[in-house]
């Protein structure tokens, strides 16, 4: 999957995805729930039967382009999870938020969606007990491991962009 960075790189990333899909069918992309444009982006990607990794979004963006309130991001995240799963496309729900995971499980159960159509994704070392529980319940869980030269930079950007992320990580390390 092509990762998604800040708003300024969103359209460039989507254009790259569309260009690659002309030749390859095994390419996916990340979509961020906190951007106002997300629902329209997903409508545009529908024709590609896109394999999407759905995230809330980690960057602090202008209220001109993103939902400033967490509750609005959460509602949009639920909306896009439902939208993509009901469209029948492969969906990666990338979240450690148990409310979002429970929402997805309910949605899947109520709509008879196969466990082969989606997976949960979480960062290595965060919410390990939850990962284990989901696997025991028969769900696919992919553990995301940042790597490469700038893995630490990636991790620090995720923490720095949202102060709540620091508390979330510290709380999970304590577990």
In the annotation, is 133 catalytic? no
Number of domains in the chain: 1
CA distances (Å), origin 72, targets 76, 94, 138, 141: 6, 17, 30, 26
Mean pLDDT of 52-58: 91
pLDDT of the residue at 148: 77
- The larger pLDDT score, comparing residue 82 to residue 171, is at 82
In a domain, 157, yes or no: no
Q: How many Å is the Cα radius of gyration of the chain?
A: 16
**In this structure, what CATH number is given to the domain that contains residue 34?**
3.20.20.220
In a domain, 152, yes or no: no
Q: With pLDDT > 90 as the criterion, what percentage of the chain qualifies?
A: 69
Quick one: which H or E segment has residue 29?
strand 28-32
Measure the CA–CA gap between 171 and 2, rounded to whole angstroms.
29
In a domain, 97, yes or no: yes
In a domain, 137, yes or no: yes
In a domain, 151, yes or no: no
In a domain, 27, yes or no: yes
Which of 11-25, 110-124, 130-144, 156-170 comes out lowest in average pLDDT?
A: 156-170
Catalytic residue chosen out of the listed positions 21, 41, 53, 74:
53
Check pLDDT > 80 for residue 164.
no
In a domain, 96, yes or no: yes
In a domain, 171, yes or no: no
Measure the CA–CA gap between 119 and 89, rounded to whole angstroms.
12
Please check whether residue 106 is in contact with residue 85, taking contact to mean a CB–CB distance below 8 angstroms: no
CA distances (Å), origin 102, targets 93, 106, 109, 168: 11, 6, 11, 18
In the annotation, is 53 catalytic? yes
| Token couple for 35 | 């951007």
Q: Which domain holds residue 13?
A: 7-146
**pTM (2 d.p.):** 0.87
């Amino acid at each position: 999957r092509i990762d998604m960075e800040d708003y300024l790189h969103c359209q460039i990333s989507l254009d790259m995805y569309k260009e690659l899909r002309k030749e390859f069918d095994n390419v996916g992309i990340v979509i961020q729930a906190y951007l106002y444009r997300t629902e329209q982006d997903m409508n545009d990607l529908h024709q590609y039967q896109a394999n999407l990794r759905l995230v809330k979004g980690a960057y602090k963006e202008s209220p001109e382009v993103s939902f400033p309130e967490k509750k609005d991001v959460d509602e949009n995240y639920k909306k896009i999870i439902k939208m993509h799963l009901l469209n029948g496309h492969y969906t990666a729900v990338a979240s450690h938020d148990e409310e979002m995971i429970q929402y997805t499980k309910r949605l899947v159960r109520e709509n008879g969606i196969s466990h082969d159509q989606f997976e949960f994704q979480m960062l290595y070392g965060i919410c390990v007990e939850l990962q284990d529980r989901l696997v025991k319940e028969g769900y696919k869980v992919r553990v995301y491991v940042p790597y490469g030269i700038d893995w630490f930079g990636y991790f620090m950007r995720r923490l720095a962009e949202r102060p709540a992320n620091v508390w979330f990580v510290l709380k999970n390390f304590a577990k």
